Amino acid sequence: MLAAVRRSCGFACALLLLACARAPAPPEPSRDPSRSVLGTSPLVSANPEPARQPGPFDAGGADAATAELPELHGGTRSVHGAFGAVTSVEPAATRAGIAMLEQGGNAVDAAVAVAYALAVTHPSAGNLGGGGFMLVRPPRGPTVAIDFRETAPQALTRDQFDAMIRGGGAGPASVGVPGSVAGLELAHDRFGRLDRRTVLAPAIALAHGHRLGAHQAELLAWSYRALERDHAARAIFGDPKLAKQPKHSGDMLVQKDLAASLERIAASGAPGFYQGPTALGLIGVSGGLLSAADLGAYQAKVREPLTFQYQGYTVETMPPPSAGGVVVAEILLVLQKLHAERFAHDSADELHFFLEASKRAQAERRYGVVDPDALSAEENQRRRARYLDPTSVLGVPIDPLHATPASVVHPLYSEALREFEHTTHLSVADADGMVVSCTTTLSASFGSKLVAPGTGVVLNNSVASFASVGDNQPLAGRRTTSSMAPTLVLAGGAPVLVLGSPGGDTIPSTIVQILRHVIDHGEALDVAVDAPRVHHGFVPDEVRYEPHNAPPKAVLDELTRRGHTVKNGKSAIGDANEILLQHGEAFAYTDPREGGLALAASKVERRPASDATSRTR
């Protein structure tokens, strides 16, 4: 009944809400920070979380704070079990994670094993030579955000950056200092239970030889014209029997140099990558800017998640240098402020407000987010407060009946560069209630299209992710921002959703739409992941939809009537490998858009406590 009443409000409610949002607030000597400018929507919890310690996968349903939250559902096509689950884009990598859980490892052991395996089996985005972000939430918290985004080499100059961008954003000058190994090792050192060699064993075995998957072969074919120009890349990915042809689906992919690089990490941890033979290979790329000093100085960082309240749930997402987490927060908080849940599910009304909120948040992503280490503590706090204030996004108000041109939303519209980014996301939950959301990237597919000689390491082109205008400027030693946005949703202090996606600037759109399908509209996880997606990335000023999974024509026609430029995007949006936690079980689902595998662990080998303190470091 409530949903029907909400839907019946239609434009009248939207117009009333918008009028309230535009109206100046009366003077208030002391404003309650837990309430929006409308005075009705909770934005930040005014009360601490309940003191009760939740159990594994317990959504805290007995607490007063969560007693009225709706039942969540994993869906009939999700795998589920009480011993944990893993989902990723590549089956062998998922199996590596499940093997860790079933050997008594925790979610971090599994996530690290999956990430290293993806560097072997999904080389277009999985990597040792790139970077990423990870959220780790132990069974009773708090959540830790691990930033292992790449940094610009000390030798980088603005002239070199501009020339690299003019040349297409690839090649030696595009390579940033890799962060993946430092980040994965930081996570494992701090939270892992199994020894390092056990965690890396699946990746090492796969590097000695595995069959190339169909989706991975397709990605290789798309990038091979550029890859074949590099001798080391051609030796790995080229078909030895057919000149100028890449390996095909089902071909054996043997990466002996990569196996040796992984062995050095297994033996020595991060120093096995940032020092010694692997490091010499990384700095030996002809024309590259990386130095031994760059590698020696790199550090993964622990940061505080960006946290806010949405419809009674706590959402935790990656903070800067993730600009994607900022977009997730701003879209959700704007939609909550304007009560977009009142509109019929995936109607033109609802999608119009989502697209308009996205357009404004994406402008913030491009121009208002920078490496937090470049700012003072006071400025970082000021910006975090702005990211969590929906009124800051509505400086150009949303017109319920008409699309706002992107050039009106931000004056630097014409200076924006289109973002190219290829990422991969994995989600893990273990039997004790620990969860991990992790996204890694080489920026473009196969990054710089270079392999460091003698290492098997595909190198990133993350330096091309800096901007020519706005805050994210290319300065030596600086981390570039990213759209990656691993995200957790909590109820009563316990995780209920583990979210993330690849897809460049479409990442926040994917995460927000799935979250709202589940939270606002009560859809099961599998249905929410499969649902049609739309996207507005600010640049270009158009609405993109999926060619084989489009909204109804009547909805697209109405969006067009309101002034949106609506286009068939020619490809899928995102690849959401997600987990929902409820009633003592983890429900994992893999997005059919790119294939992959979700598995639930069938057992857990409980290890003696001494095993957790006798790991190889």
CA distance 308 to 384: 11
Of 123, 139, 99, 118, the C-alpha closest to 184 is 118
Can you tell me whether residue 605 is helix, strand or coil? Answer: coil
| Sequence-separated (6 or more) residues with CB below 8 Å from residue 98 | 86, 110, 599, 600, 601
Of 382, 332, 377, 374, the C-alpha closest to 357 is 332
What phi and psi, each to the nearest 5 degrees, are found at residue 331? -65, -50
| Catalytic (active site) residue 121 | no
What phi and psi, each to the nearest 5 degrees, are found at residue 21? -65, -35
Can you tell me whether residue 407 is helix, strand or coil? Answer: helix
Where is 262: in which H helix or E strand? helix 256-268
The tokens for 280 are 């010499």
The tokens for 206 are 């796969």
User: According to DSSP H, which parts of 319-347 are helical?
Assistant: 323-337
Q: With beta carbons less than 8 A apart as the criterion, state whether 254 and 212 touch.
A: no
Q: With beta carbons less than 8 A apart as the criterion, state whether 360 and 367 touch.
A: no
β-bridge mates for residue 68, sequence order: none
The tokens for 239 are 């078909």
CA distance 486 to 436: 9
Can you tell me whether residue 49 is helix, strand or coil? Answer: coil
The tokens for 37 are 């400018």
CA distance 265 to 262: 5
- Beta pairing class for 252-253 and 210-211: antiparallel
Residue 412's CB: how many other CB atoms inside 10 A? Answer: 15
β-bridge mates for residue 347, sequence order: none
What phi and psi, each to the nearest 5 degrees, are found at residue 306? -85, 115
Question: Which of these is catalytic: 278, 314, 423, 455?
Answer: 423
CA distance 4 to 250: 51
Can you tell me whether residue 29 is helix, strand or coil? Answer: coil
β-bridge mates for residue 438, sequence order: 134, 426
β-bridge mates for residue 561, sequence order: none
Direct distance between the N- and C-terminal alpha carbons of the chain, in angstroms, rounded to an integer: 58
Strand order from edge to edge, sheet including 543-545: 534-535, 543-545, 566-568
Would you please indicate which residues are annotated as catalytic (active-site) residues? 423
